[in-house]
């Protein structure tokens, strides 16, 4: 298995893409830290699925799995981020892969965005990624090891998304963070890449999924004609986390069914 002997931390992995990534990395043999902020039951579900993959027990009967471990932390807080990474290392002895997945979005016209909503989005989506990555890199330097960083960005690191300006600013920032760090971290043997999903069937899109008119219009813009699934994103993350991707850094990979480049004159 490609990730045997590796330990991965996936932020925001109690649901959605994060949960899908944890399962894919676990299938490839990695030990996984499952992080959650407000859904402990989701984190337990992820853990039970990991245990089931490991063949250790049947789901619902496995509160603990030696391949997975859950930790509560708010990625908007640098103090909690540092504790999260310290506890991950204390539990599994090392960290090799960081998947910065936790992210939030808030819908509002630009002129109505509150400072609290702006801060919430930027703190989790950009400040959290910055300091989680910094803490992870400090660990790799201290232990003289290489590692892999994968950021879950969005098509909206390129594509405008009206009424989500703070979200777009955070993902645009993530794009430049990755380009910069590819250069700074390359000499240390650490790679960093972005995986940029389009519309994926996850809880962040609950409103959209329940609005047939909006959903229908969006599907018309997706050349592959369907929403993505967490597994579509997770497969690429698993590749980037493996030694097959040792020479890949500083790049964004879109997983969007063709959505980004689909401009058409009607």
Interface residues with ligand BGC (CB under 6 A)? 105, 154-156, 161, 198-199, 204-205, 208
Q: How far is the CB of 135 from ligand BGC (least distance, A)?
A: 25
Number of other CB atoms surrounding residue 82 within 10 Å: 16
* Nearer CB in complex with ligand BGC: 91/207: 207
Q: How far is the CB of 97 from ligand BGC (least distance, A)?
A: 22
Specify whether the CB–CB gap between 211 and 237 falls below 8 A.
Answer: no
Q: At a CB cut-off of 8 Å and minimum separation 6, what does 248 contact?
A: 191, 193, 240
Residue number with CB closer to ligand BGC (222 or 248): 222
Q: 229-254: string of b/e by CB count within 10 Å (b at 16+)?
A: ebebbbebbbbbbbeebeeebbebbb
Compare residues 206 and 243 and give the one whose CB is closer to ligand BGC. 206
Cβ 240 to ligand BGC shortest distance, Å: 18
Task: Pick the closer one to ligand BGC by CB: 84 or 155.
Answer: 155
Closer Cβ to ligand BGC, 159 or 248, answer by number: 159
Least distance between ligand BGC and beta carbon 103 (Å): 7
Write the CA distances from 113 to 165, 174, 206, integer angstroms. Answer: 9, 21, 21
Q: Considering the complex, what minimum distance in angstroms separates the CB of residue 242 from ligand BGC?
A: 25
Catalytic residue chosen out of the listed positions 36, 69, 167, 263: 167
Sheet holding 7-10, edge to edge: 68-72, 31-36, 7-10, 97-100, 147-152, 190-197, 252-255
Closer residue to ligand BGC (CB): 80 or 105: 105
Minimum CB–partner distance for residue 210 and ligand BGC (Å): 13
Say whether 167 is catalytic.
yes
Question: Which residue's Cβ has the minimum distance to ligand BGC?
Answer: 154
Active site residues: 167
């Amino acid at each position: 298995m490609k990730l045997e002997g590796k330990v991965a931390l996936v932020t925001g992995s109690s649901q959605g893409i994060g949960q899908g990534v944890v399962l894919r990395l676990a299938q490839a043999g990695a030990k996984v830290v499952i992080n959650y902020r407000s859904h402990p039951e989701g984190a337990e579900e992820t853990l039970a699925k990991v245990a089931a993959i490991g063949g250790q027990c049947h789901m619902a009967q496995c509160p603990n799995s030696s391949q997975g471990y859950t930790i509560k932390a708010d990625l908007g807080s640098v103090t909690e981020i540092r504790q999260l990474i310290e506890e991950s290392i204390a539990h599994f002895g090392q960290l090799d892969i960081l998947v910065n997945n936790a992210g939030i979005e808030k819908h509002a016209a630009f002129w109505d965005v509150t400072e609290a909503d702006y801060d919430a989005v930027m703190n989790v989506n950009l400040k959290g990624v910055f300091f989680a990555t910094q803490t992870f890199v400090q660990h790799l330097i201290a232990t003289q090891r290489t590692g892999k960083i994968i950021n879950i960005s969005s098509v909206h690191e390129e594509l405008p998304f009206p009424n989500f300006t703070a979200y777009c600013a955070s993902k645009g920032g993530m794009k430049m963070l990755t380009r910069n760090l590819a250069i700074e971290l390359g000499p240390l043997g650490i790679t960093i890449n972005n995986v940029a999903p389009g519309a994926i069937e996850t809880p962040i899109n609950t409103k959209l999924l329940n609005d047939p008119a909006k959903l229908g219009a969006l599907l018309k813009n997706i050349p592959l004609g369907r929403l993505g699934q967490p597994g579509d994103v997770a497969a690429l993350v698993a590749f980037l986390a493996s030694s097959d991707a040792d020479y890949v850094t500083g790049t964004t990979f879109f997983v969007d069914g063709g959505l980004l480049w689909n401009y058409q004159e009607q």
